[in-house]
Amino acid sequence: MKCAALIPARGGSKRLPGKNIADFLGRPMIAYTIDAALETGFFADVVVSTEDEKIAEAARQAGARVSVRPEALAGDKARVTQVCGHFLEEEKGQGRTYDVLCCLYATAPLRNSEDIAAVVELVTRGDCAYAMAVTRYHYPPHQALKLGPAGSLSPMWPEWLEKRSQEVPEVFVDNGSTYAVSVPAFLESGTFYGPGLKGHLMPRERSVDIDHAEDLALALYFAGRDNR
């Protein structure tokens, strides 16, 4: 199967400006995701989609090809699935088609090549058409509270609130790092959450999705701990 890795990386982050190329242990953050994708040996192309020239230059230096994203898909309201659809359409116009698309977020620098390979293999083996990296919740999800009028709190799922953790089905959460889809299935559904979805479980220390300064600090802590 012919596989492509797409790394969406726009330049207009508001919560942590410049996060995709923020310094992470002396290198632009995006370089770690490019390295991990290339290390798998799975991909015919490793491509960064961006409208930002600084990100594009960092991507090229790390060994990725760059796809220039149109301004219409560069705002904070554009969905990553739209970016993926645009990429596949542009590639088809250039005579390049793929069986499997892997979408990798640049803000997960601790995710490694083995994690990417495990997600992609779920699709290439024929186990499913949709796969993603997941992790466990940090707190019991069945005890979630929702905000109501005047700051009041009430249980999100009252029927589960009093149950012990062992009485509740085990649940996982998308860790915001790695997605693989069969291209025909994705073009039909336009989602990463299609029928038969399967997951590759990652530990918390490799599942940090960096959106805020405190996420960056946590990722640096885990990276430093692993290197001690």
pLDDT tens digit sequence for 20-60? 999 999 999 999 999 999 999 999 999 999 999 999 999 99
How many residues are recorded in the chain? 228
CATH 3.90.550.10 segments of the chain: 3-134+172-223
pTM of the model: 0.93
pLDDT of residue 226 exceeding 70: no
Torsion of CA 116, 20, 227, 215, to 10 degrees: -100
Assigned token pair, 210: 């960096």
- CATH architecture assignment, domain 3-134+172-223: Alpha-Beta Complex (3.90)
For residues 51 and 70, the answer to whether their CB atoms sit within 8 Å is yes
